[in-house]
C-alpha cells in the first residue's frame, strides 16, 4: 500500500532501527576497533595492531576455547535431539496424564538457568548430593568424595548433561508438533501394506521428521555455543580451565583481567564463528521450509 | 501410534510407566529442591537424603534477611515488563511499515532487521559495556532495558502476522479518517492479539530469568535482579548452606512456573516454528 506521507514509514521504523543499530550493529564495529588497542580501562589505550589476535592464536588459547565449546555443544545437541525425539514419541498420546508429563519435562526450559545450575550443583555435591552420592557409589570405595564438577575429565560432561536436562523439553515440543502433523492415513496405508511398527517408524515417520531434526539441531547448536550461566555459576571455568567456554573466556578477559583489547578480539572471533554456524542454520532452515510445504 | 507398541498387559503399562519415569526425572529434582529448603543446617550435614523432620522456615527467613526480596523482585518485574512491553509497542509500527507500506529503502530496512538476528547478547556485551561506561549508564535500569527494547525477532514475527491481514481493512479504516497510529495500535494491534501475547510472554520469561546481561551491566545492588541475588547466595555461602540456596531457588522459580501453568498454551505455541 502507498503510505499517506513519505516520512510515515520511516517514522514508524525509526525507534526500532535506531535501537537495533546502536545495540547490535555499532557494537560489532566498536569491538573490531578496540581489538587493535591494548587497554586496561584505567590507563590510556595504546594502538597495538593485530597483536591481540596474534597472542590469542600463539598461545593456542583461541583454538582450545573454540574446541572445548564445540565439544560441549556436541554433547548438548546429540543428547537433546535423541532424548527429545524419544520423549516426543513416548508422550504423543492423548489424555491428561501425558499432558502432565509433557509439562513436567518442558518446565525446565522455562525455569532460570540460575535455578537449574544451583539445583544441579547441590545434586552433584560429592558429600551429600543425591546424584553425587550415586556417582561415588558407582566409582567404588576409595573414590574421592569431591563433586564431579571438581574433576577435570568429567566437569564439562557434567555441565553438558545439565544443559541437556534444561533444553530437552524444547526439542520434545517441536518434535511433537511435527509428529502430530503427520497424516494418519500415511501410517495406516503402510500398516495395510504389512509394515510393522518399527518399519513404519523407520520408513515413514523418521524421514518426515528429518527437516525438523535439522531445525532442532541447529537452534540447539547456536544456543549451546553461547553457554555461559552454567559455567559462571557451577565451575567458574575450572578445574584447570576444563570448562572455560567461549563467552566465559570473553567475560574473564574484560572483567577479571581488565583486558579490553583481548576481550574485543575474542568477541570478534566469537562473532565470526557464530555467523558461520548461522549460515549453516540458514541452509538447513531453507531445506526445512521446502520440506514443510 | 498406540498400536505401535502392541497391546499385551506388559506393553499396556510400559508406555505410561516410561512416561511416569520421565516425569520423575524432572519432578524429583524440584521436589528435592523444595524439601531441602525446609531443612536445617544440622539436618543437611547429618541426613542429606532424608526429608525434613519438620518444615522449618529458617532458610526462607535467612534469604529474606540477606536479600531485599521485595525490592529485588520489583526491579526484576519492572525490567522484564518494560522490555516485553517496549518490544510489543515498537514491533507493531515497524512490522506495519515492513509488511504493508511500499517505500524506497524498504528492502534495506528489512535486511538490517534480519541481520540483527545474527548478533546475540554475548557478542555485544563488551562493546555495549564500554559504550554505557562512556555515558555513565552502567548499573542503571537503562543499561538493562534499552539494549532489548527493540526486538528483531519480534519485528519479524509481527511483519509475518500482518502480511496475512487483508489490505481492505486498512483502506476502510483510512476512509473512515483513522490516523495511521490509530490503525496500528487500535485496529491491527487487537487483531494480532495471539502473536503479541506470545511475544510478550516469551520475552518476559526470558528477561525475568536472564542472568548474563544483568551480571555484566551491574556493579552494585542498585538495580540487581533476582537471578543475580539468588546466585550470590551461593557465592557468599560458606560451606554447605544448601538449604538457603534452595530456598532462594524456590523464591526465584515460583513466579515463572506459576506463569507457565497459567499460560501454557501461549508459551508452547510460541516456541514452535511456523
A150 pLDDT tier (thresholds 50, 70, 90): confident
- Among B48, B149, B271, beta carbon nearest to A128: B48
Q: How would you write the pLDDT of chain B (274 residues) with one tens digit per residue?
A: 444 445 566 677 888 899 999 999 999 999 999 999 999 888 888 887 788 888 889 899 999 998 999 999 999 999 999 999 999 999 999 999 999 999 999 999 999 999 998 899 999 999 999 999 999 999 999 999 999 999 999 999 999 999 999 999 999 999 999 999 999 999 999 999 999 999 999 999 999 999 999 999 999 888 999 999 999 988 765 566 889 999 999 999 999 999 988 888 777 777 665 4
Residue found under cell 573414590: A143
Q: What is the pLDDT of residue B48?
A: 76
Structural domain count, chain A? 1
Does A139 reside within a domain? yes
Instruction: Return the residue of B nearest to A93 by Cα.
Output: B2
Q: Which comes out higher in pLDDT, residue B236 or A195?
A: A195
- Among A13, A122, A255, beta carbon nearest to B36: A122
* CA atoms of A159 and A146, how far apart (whole Å): 16
Does A2 reside within a domain? no
Cell numbers given for A70 = 564445540
Q: What is the pLDDT of residue A191?
A: 86
Q: What is the pLDDT of residue A249?
A: 95
Q: What is the pLDDT of residue A140?
A: 65
Spell out which residues of chain A touch residue B5, defining contact as CB-CB under 8 Å: 197
Instruction: Return the residue of A nearest to B124 by Cα.
Output: A27
Burial of residue B53, with CB atoms counted within 10 A of its CB: 0-12 exposed, 13-18 middle, 19 or more buried: exposed
Does A9 reside within a domain? no
Do B100 and A110 count as a contact with CB atoms less than 8 A apart? no
Of B227, B82, B208, B93, which is closest to residue B146 (Cα–Cα)? B82
Decide if B79 contacts B225 (C-beta within 8 A): yes
Beta bridge partners of A46: A38
Does A263 reside within a domain? yes
Of A77, A110, A91, which is closest to residue A180 (Cα–Cα)? A91
Do B246 and A187 count as a contact with CB atoms less than 8 A apart? no
Residues whose CB is less than 8 angstroms from the CB of residue A51 and which lie 6 or more positions away in sequence, other chains included: A38, A261
Spell out which residues of chain A touch residue B93, defining contact as CB-CB under 8 Å: 12-13, 15-16
Does A250 reside within a domain? yes
Helix (H, G, I), strand (E, B) or coil at A38: strand
Q: Is the pLDDT reported for residue A184 higher than 70?
A: yes
Decide if B152 contacts A24 (C-beta within 8 A): yes
Q: Provide the mean pLDDT of chain A.
A: 89
Q: What domain range includes position A266? A: 48-292
Do A97 and B19 count as a contact with CB atoms less than 8 A apart? yes
pLDDT, tens digit, for every residue of A16-51? 999 999 999 999 999 999 999 999 888 888 999 889
CATH at residue A137: 1.10.3720.10
pLDDT, tens digit, for every residue of A199-251? 888 888 888 888 888 889 988 999 999 999 999 999 998 888 899 999 999 99
- Among A4, A108, A118, beta carbon nearest to B180: A4
Residue found under cell 506393553: B11
Question: What ipTM goes with this model?
Answer: 0.90
Cell numbers given for A291 = 520440506
Does A209 reside within a domain? yes
Q: Which of residues 242-261 of B touch A (CB under 8 A)?
A: 242, 245-246, 248-249, 252-253, 256-257, 260-261
- Among A110, A123, A174, beta carbon nearest to B257: A110
Chain A contact present for B171, CB below 8 A: yes
Decide if A228 contacts B121 (C-beta within 8 A): no
Q: What is the pLDDT of residue B5?
A: 47
Does A150 reside within a domain? yes
Q: Which domains does chain B have, with CATH numbers?
A: 61-271 (1.10.3720.10)
Task: Give residue A240's region: left, alpha or beta (phi > 0; psi -120 to 50).
Answer: left
Amino acid at each position: 500500500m502507498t503510505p499517506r506521507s513519505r516520512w510515515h514509514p520511516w517514522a514508524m521504523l525509526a525507534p526500532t532501527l535506531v535501537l537495533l543499530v546502536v545495540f547490535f550493529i555499532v557494537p560489532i564495529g566498536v569491538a573490531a576497533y578496540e581489538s587493535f588497542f591494548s587497554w586496561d580501562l584505567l590507563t590510556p589505550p595504546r594502538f597495538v595492531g593485530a597483536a591481540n589476535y596474534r597472542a590469542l592464536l600463539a598461545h593456542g588459547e583461541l583454538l582450545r576455547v573454540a574446541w572445548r565449546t564445540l565439544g560441549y555443544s556436541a554433547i548438548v545437541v546429540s543428547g537433546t535431539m535423541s532424548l527429545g525425539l524419544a520423549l516426543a514419541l513416548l508422550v504423543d498420546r492423548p489424555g491428561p496424564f501425558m499432558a502432565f508429563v509433557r509439562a513436567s519435562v518442558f518446565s525446565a526450559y522455562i525455569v532460570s538457568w540460575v535455578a537449574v545450575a544451583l539445583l544441579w550443583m547441590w545434586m552433584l555435591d560429592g558429600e551429600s548430593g543425591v546424584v553425587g552420592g550415586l556417582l561415588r557409589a558407582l566409582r567404588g570405595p576409595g573414590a574421592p568424595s569431591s563433586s564431579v564438577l571438581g574433576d577435570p575429565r568429567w566437569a564439562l560432561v557434567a555441565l553438558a548433561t545439565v544443559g541437556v536436562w534444561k533444553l530437552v523439553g524444547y526439542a520434545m515440543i517441536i518434535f511433537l508438533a511435527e509428529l502430530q502433523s503427520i497424516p494418519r492415513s500415511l501410517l495406516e496405508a503402510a500398516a495395510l501394506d504389512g509394515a510393522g511398527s518399527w518399519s513404519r517408524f523407520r520408513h515413514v515417520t523418521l524421514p518426515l521428521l528429518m527437516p525438523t531434526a535439522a531445525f532442532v539441531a541447529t537452534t540447539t547448536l547456536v544456543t549451546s555455543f553461547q553457554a555461559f550461566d552454567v559455567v559462571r555459576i557451577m565451575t567458574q571455568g575450572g578445574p584447570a580451565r576444563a570448562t572455560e567456554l567461549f563467552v566465559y573466556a570473553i567475560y574473564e578477559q574484560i572483567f577479571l583481567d581488565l583486558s579490553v583489547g583481548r576481550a574485543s578480539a575474542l568477541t570478534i572471533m566469537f562473532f565470526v564463528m557464530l555467523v558461520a554456524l548461522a549460515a549453516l542454520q540458514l541452509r538447513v532452515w531453507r531445506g526445512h521450509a521446502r520440506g514443510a510445504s | 501410534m498406540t498400536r505401535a507398541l502392541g497391546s499385551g498387559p506388559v506393553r499396556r503399562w510400559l508406555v505410561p510407566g516410561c512416561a511416569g519415569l520421565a516425569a520423575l526425572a524432572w519432578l524429583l529434582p524440584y521436589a528435592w529442591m523444595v524439601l531441602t529448603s525446609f531443612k536445617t543446617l544440622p539436618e543437611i550435614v547429618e541426613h542429606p537424603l532424608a526429608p525434613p523432620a519438620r518444615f522449618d522456615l529458617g532458610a526462607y527467613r535467612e534469604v529474606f534477611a540477606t536479600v531485599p526480596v521485595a525490592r529485588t523482585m520489583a526491579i526484576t518485574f519492572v525490567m522484564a515488563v518494560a522490555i516485553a512491553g517496549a518490544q510489543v509497542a515498537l514491533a507493531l509500527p515497524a512490522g506495519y511499515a515492513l509488511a504493508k507500506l511500499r517505500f524506497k529503502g524498504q528492502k534495506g530496512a528489512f535486511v538490517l532487521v534480519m541481520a540483527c538476528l545474527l548478533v546475540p547478547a554475548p557478542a555485544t556485551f563488551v562493546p555495549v559495556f564500554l559504550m554505557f561506561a562512556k555515558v555513565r549508564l552502567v548499573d542503571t535500569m537503562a543499561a538493562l532495558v534499552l539494549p532489548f527494547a527493540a526486538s528483531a525477532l519480534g519485528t519479524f514475527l509481527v511483519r509475518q502476522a500482518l502480511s496475512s491481514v487483508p489490505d481492505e481493512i486498512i483502506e476502510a479504516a483510512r476512509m473512515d479518517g483513522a490516523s495511521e497510529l490509530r490503525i496500528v495500535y487500535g485496529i491491527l494491534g487487537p487483531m494480532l492479539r495471539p502473536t503479541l501475547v506470545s511475544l510478550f510472554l516469551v520475552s518476559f520469561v526470558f528477561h525475568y530469568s536472564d542472568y548474563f546481561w544483568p551480571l555484566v551491566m551491574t556493579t552494585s545492588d542498585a538495580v540487581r535482579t533476582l537471578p543475580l541475588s539468588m546466585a550470590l547466595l551461593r557465592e557468599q555461602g560458606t560451606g554447605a548452606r544448601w538449604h538457603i540456596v534452595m530456598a532462594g531457588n524456590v523464591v526465584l522459580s515460583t513466579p515463572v512456573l506459576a506463569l507457565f501453568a497459567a499460560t501454557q498454551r501461549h508459551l508452547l505455541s510460541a516456541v514452535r516454528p511456523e
